[in-house]
Each structure stands twice: as C-alpha cells, then as structure tokens.
Amino acid sequence: MTTNSSNKLYLVTRANLKPGQQASQLAHVSREFQEEWPDIERSWYKESNTIVLLSVANEHSLRELVSKANELGIKTATFREPDLKNALTAIALEPCEKSASLCRGITTALRNTYEAHGLAGANPNGPGSLVLKATASNAVIPGENPGQGALPLRIWERVKGFFC
C-alpha cells in the first residue's frame, strides 16, 4: 500500500530533551494514543502503520501545537512524564490530512542526533519528517517506494541504537 500523509500517525516530542528521553516519550505517547483512540489506532495499524516522529522546541511549543490540533478537531493523545514533574513531553495526532497540514514544517525528532552521526541529508523526505515503517516484529524496513519516506535500512542500522 502506498503511504500518504492522511494515514500517518504523527508523534511530536520536545527537542530540548535528550535523545533517549525523546525516544521514550514518543513510545509512551504512541501507547497513550492506542489506549485513548483504539478504533482509530487499529485502523491505522492495519492500513498503514507508518509513524512520523517530530519535535518542537520546548513544552510551551508542544502545548501550542496540541491546542491548535484541538481547535482543528484533530484527535490527540498527550503524555506527561512523572520523572520530569509531570511535564508535557509528547503528543500524538490522529492520522488525517489536518494533522499532516498542521505538522508540515515541524522538525524531525532526534534531528541533532541524526545529523551528529553523519546522516544529514539521508532522509528522503527532507528535514521535516523521519518516517519509520514498522513490521509486526518491530523491525524497520524501507518502504515500497523510497520516495514515500521510509527510512532506508542502511540508515536504520546506524541509528537504531538510539531507539532500541
């Protein structure tokens, strides 16, 4: 199946968190979205299972983004990290065109880590998104069409330590 912007789950964290914290907050909010919106998540999982990982500057920017999403009627899930005094650390936006439009131009999550390891320019979608295509075994594979933005396996091999 060809992936388009309306069937991608958008997960957004804070760029001012360490890479490991960003990764764990994104995992937490993904699970939160599954819990709060099981029918949407199940449909997304069966039809696409493509995740876009993004980051905004800080908690204030994350609050503004979730507020805009709510104003647009986008279904969201939020995660607050108990170890960070229950600060808002990540949000998930339902797979839809409104989410894609709202997230257009937001920076790739873990971008500093991505570039620090000599991977700048390796993202076929450009600087605005890092797209991972997950299988049932949680492996990351290139998409059917590399132009659709799945992370190439050669790149995944270099960065997977930050996720696993």
pLDDT for 53 equals 94
Fold of the domain built from segment(s) 5-159 = Bit1 (3.40.1490)
Strand partners, 23: none
What pLDDT score was predicted for residue 20? 87
pLDDT of 116: 43
Give pLDDT, residue 111: 72
pLDDT value for 6 = 75
Mean pLDDT, 10 residues at a time, the chain of 164 residues? 72 91 93 96 92 94 97 97 95 96 91 53 47 45 40 55 52
What does the block give as tokens for 129?
């998104």
Q: List, in order, residues 6 or more apart from 11 with CB less than 8 Å away.
A: 26, 29, 30, 33, 51, 52, 53, 54, 90, 91, 92, 93, 109
